[in-house]
Structure 1
């Protein structure tokens, strides 16, 4: 019997690019949030106030994402043997769930505003909304410099994208109010933005929840792996107890047992299994246990 681990997975090294991008986006979002709160109160615009509330939670979410990247740099310890990478997945889940709360609040306020219309200053609203759009475009561009496949970056992008849509909605609403005086457009567009936010939030929550529940890595098919190992590797009798999961999206892992006949070179089989896992399934961190059996035992295992 032989057992081995490959600790040279790509996810074991962490750059500072993602953390820097999220940190700058958090500063931009938090700074302009204050201007939107003031502008929303002065103009009476729900779209601006809703967007400011969204930016507040975005600031918290982006700060949490920044801290997650910072924490992930800490080395593994005897208590946290996998390190702290998964905190970023937890942060993504929290960020995704917060988007549901934001959307619910926006819809509630919109219904209330439709039943009790208030005066909206279109000019002030337009000025603040344009400024918010510029800030959000800049923050979005900065975040796209990070690793877009990273779940934490993806959640941060969705938050900023929601803000960006909120700013666009506020600009459209302000123009309609300026030229027609029709104030219901303000809460109506706010609800439209909330629906878009909900759709995006669901994807982040579903994906991060899948990882936290130890679901199989994306595009991984255990049946296909077993079939290829048993069909292609010389000396392999049976592949059993295959368990695959992810620490983060970038760190898939797998454990499995490989039964081989007594004439097989266990070291060579192990190397072949790990090579196949890395090249065909993009899994660089694996634990492979080799069990040797006689010809008679091998026949019994196959049956």
Structure 2
């Protein structure tokens, strides 16, 4: 009996109930087209964001509004984040090589992490600036501020609509959408502040609403950062019960023992697992990889599994 059978399951086994299992590190056939569509959406929103940042900067300069100039910097940072996402898509599309056998998919995760981290930094800057304005209120020309803020709201609504129609399983797209939503909320806050200043003359409304927007953004930003860190740390995918997965494998009549089960996320949409099993008496060890892979695929949606078959008695735990 061989000491190990290193035969992972993949799409061939998914489509055919035969005795061999294919092995591919590439994602399913639908992913490249989905990724390309997401990249086109982000590219469109990037252009809109960059153009509006320029319009906002000019509007702030002409009106003497520091708030608009500061928000133009906010939009420019978001445009940079969107550009980073586009670069990440291009790098991630590169084929695997001898050094990086899994390819460059994790670049997308790194870009999502950078986007989330930049949002957190932005929130910190907004709060800092708001505190400074509480201490020393800044005069705001509410009329031009309102006009530019309304334009920004329309631009950001269009951008959010474009991105929301993309594949939301993509962390890179989610990061871009969070930036746009943050901009949208900022536009709403700017409109409310401008109207309030027009009616009351209270310039302190500007920093108050800025803090409220920051609180709304920080929760989503932290979620993006934490999800990316879990992927990079190769943590068990969200929602997966490791004990249930091992118990399901142990319940197969062909399996005597199961152990050394590991599952992690390669990218935000692709889960990989490895597991060691020993065959039950009378079981052909060559059939185990396919059966175990099918169990994990059907009950835990794991499409890429590496199964090692060990000699009987070499693993802990009863059948």
TM over 0.5: yes
Of 294, 298, 311 in structure 2, the residue corresponding to residue 275 of structure 1 is 294
> How many residues are matched?
299
Deviations along 1:69-124, one digit per CA (max 9) or x if unpaired, are 11111111111111111101000111111111111111111111122122211110
Runs of 5+ consecutive residues of structure 2 not aligned to the other structure: 11-23
Partner of 1:4: 7
Classify the secondary structure of the residue corresponding to 1:302: coil
Deviations along 1:187-235, one digit per CA (max 9) or x if unpaired, are 111111111111111100100000001111121111001111112x112
Alpha carbons of structure 1 residues 196 and 43: separation in structure 2 relative to 1, 3 Å: farther
How far did 1:262 drift?
A: 4.1
Partner of 2:93: 73
Partner of 1:242: 261
Partner of 1:128: 148
Partner of 2:32: 14
- Determine the C-alpha separation between the residues in 2 that align with 1:242 and 1:39: 59
Partner of 1:217: 237
How far did 1:46 drift?
A: 4.9
Partner of 2:77: 57
Q: Which runs of structure 2 are paired with 1:130-279 in the superposition (5 Å)? A: 130-231=150-251, 233-279=252-298
Query: What is the TM-score with the length of structure 1 in the denominator?
Result: 0.93
Classify the secondary structure of the residue corresponding to 1:220: coil
Q: Does 1:88 align with 2:108?
A: yes
Runs of 5+ consecutive residues of structure 1 not aligned to the other structure: none
Runs of 4+, deviation exceeding 3 Å: 8-13, 41-47, 297-303
Q: Is the 8 A contact 1:9 1:285 kept in 2?
A: no
Alpha carbons of structure 1 residues 274 and 98: separation in structure 2 relative to 1, 3 Å: same
How far did 1:271 drift?
A: 1.3
Partner of 1:34: 54
Q: Is the 8 A contact 1:97 1:201 kept in 2?
A: yes
Of 88, 109, 126 in structure 1, the residue corresponding to residue 129 of structure 2 is 109
Query: What is the TM-score with the length of structure 2 in the denominator?
Result: 0.89
How far did 1:261 drift?
A: 2.7
Q: Is the 8 A contact 1:86 1:248 kept in 2?
A: yes
